[in-house]
Structure formats: C-alpha cells, structure tokens
Amino acid sequence: MIDRDGLADFLRRRRELLHPADVGLPDGARRRTPGLRREEVAQLAGMSTDYYSRLEQSRGANPSEPIVASLARALRCDLDERDHLYNLAGIAPPLRWAGRHISPGLLALVSRLTDIPVIIGTDLDEILWQNELADVVIGGGAGRNLTWLWFTDPEVRKIFPEEDWDVHSASHVADLRATYSRRMGDRDITELVDGLTARSEEFRALWELHEVAVRRLPRKRFLNAEVGDLDLTCETLLTPAADLRVRAFFPLEGTDAREKLDLLRVIGTQAFS
C-alpha cells in the first residue's frame, strides 16, 4: 500500500539535497530555497510539474512503476534509496541485478560527455537514458527496446545504410542469445524472444542459427538528414554486473565525423531549447 505522506516527504527531502550542478543544470538566478525546484525534477523525470507537485503534496493518482523509476533517476537515488522510494509508492522494488537503475555516479559521468552521442541501456537493449546528441543522431528516447524495434518497425533502420542491415540483424540476435543463455527462464527475456519469434520471420530464422556473441560492432555508419553520413566507432562499457551498458560513439579517425558531430550538437541544442 502506498505511503503518501512518506513518499511526499522523501521526494521533497531528496529534491532539497540536490544542487543544479548535480544533475547537469545551470545554477541560474538566486534561489530562495535550497535544492532543485519542483519543475526541474519534473523535467528530469519526464512528467508534468503539476503531477509531480501533487505527489509532494500527498495527493493525486498512485504513481506507476515507470514513474517511480524515472523519479529515482531524476533524484539521483542510490540502490537503497531507490528501493525505499518503490516501497513508499507501494510497488515491489526491482531485483538489484536486473539493470534498470542508473547509479548517481554513472549519471554524473555520462552527463559530462556532451560532445559525443551516449546511451545507457539494459542487457535486453532497452534504452534507459541518452544524451541530447544521441537524440539527434539516433533519435527516439528512453523506454525503447532497440532489438524489438529493429525487427518490428522498418522506420528504425532508415538511419543506417541498407547494406549494413544484415550485419546489424545478426548482431542483435547473437547478442540476445548470449543474454538469453545467461538469464534463461527470466520472464522479461522469455517474453521478448517469444514476441519477436511470433512477429518477425527474419528474427525467427536468425534465432534458429543459435549464434552467440556479445555485440561487438566497433564501427557504425549513421545516415543523418542534416549532415549526411556519419562514421563513428562504438565503445561499450559494462557495469560490474554486466546488466547495464554504456555505449559511447566517437568520430572515426580520418573522417569528417568530428566536424559533423559538432554541427549537430549546435543544431540539436537550438532545437531542444
């Protein structure tokens, strides 16, 4: 059962402990009260200020699991604080190994990488966070499962040259095979594989090959309407439990990708403001 008063108090106290610089925001004008403003937390969590304000006032609808997860990330909760937040909201906390929680330290690290596209995803290829430049280059946003979309939504492939599609398809499936073996029997991966098998003939054929490999595609070519082809190299960093992955895309040496990323960063910043 939700503890409305406890939830409101915890949200307010976490908000007051954070400084704008902790979450990558400018200090702005002098603040009358310590910590972040309610509208800043709402923006970071991807919800309306009115909805967040009602939570801090012990009223409104019960928050869903995705809302609680977003609040935990926005408020830079560690695992103990995240679990406490879930319990206050009347929701069972996720298993700690099931990589959906981004630690404050990891968020602080990736938030400083503003000149390259960076994404954080789960071992099932669900995007949990991406920076503004990744929004411009890759599109979409948090909450998407890239493997699911690759085999069910033709629009997703249009940012890659068609001659690279077969390699990407094989890589998606081989990587999923490795995760499936490591986490066999878990409901989330079983549902993902069953759903893709039913929806995609291409996925079904590749899955039956039983090729296993953690994804290693160091070079990726992206198509962008503003600057044309982008040649990038992908560095993947794993968390200690290997269930969260940080992917950073660097310009390929000997190409004009650096200049194009710089231009897209300016274009993207103007667009988002």
The whole-angstrom separation of Cα 100 and Cα 128 is 7
Q: Which two tokens stand for residue 175?
A: 């990587």
Supply the pLDDT for residue 272.
46
* β-bridge mates for residue 126, sequence order: 145
- Give residue-wise pLDDT tens across range 248-262: 999 999 999 999 999
- Among residues 168, 172, 183, the alpha carbon closest in space to that of 207 is found at 172
Q: Which whole number is the average pLDDT over 71-87?
A: 90
Chain-centre distance for alpha carbon 120: 5
Supply the pLDDT for residue 97.
56
More confident residue, 32 or 81: 81
The whole-angstrom separation of Cα 46 and Cα 146 is 20
CB burial string 48-86: b at 16+ within 10 A, e below: eeeebeebbeeeeeebeeebbbbbbbbbbbeeeebbbbb
pLDDT interval class at 273 (50, 70, 90) = very low
- Give residue-wise pLDDT tens across range 157-216: 999 999 999 999 999 999 899 888 877 778 889 999 999 999 999 999 999 988 776 656
The whole-angstrom separation of Cα 63 and Cα 7 is 10
CB 236 within 8 A of CB 245: yes
Q: Which whole number is the average pLDDT over 41-48?
A: 93
Residues 6+ apart with CB under 8 A from 227: 260, 263, 264
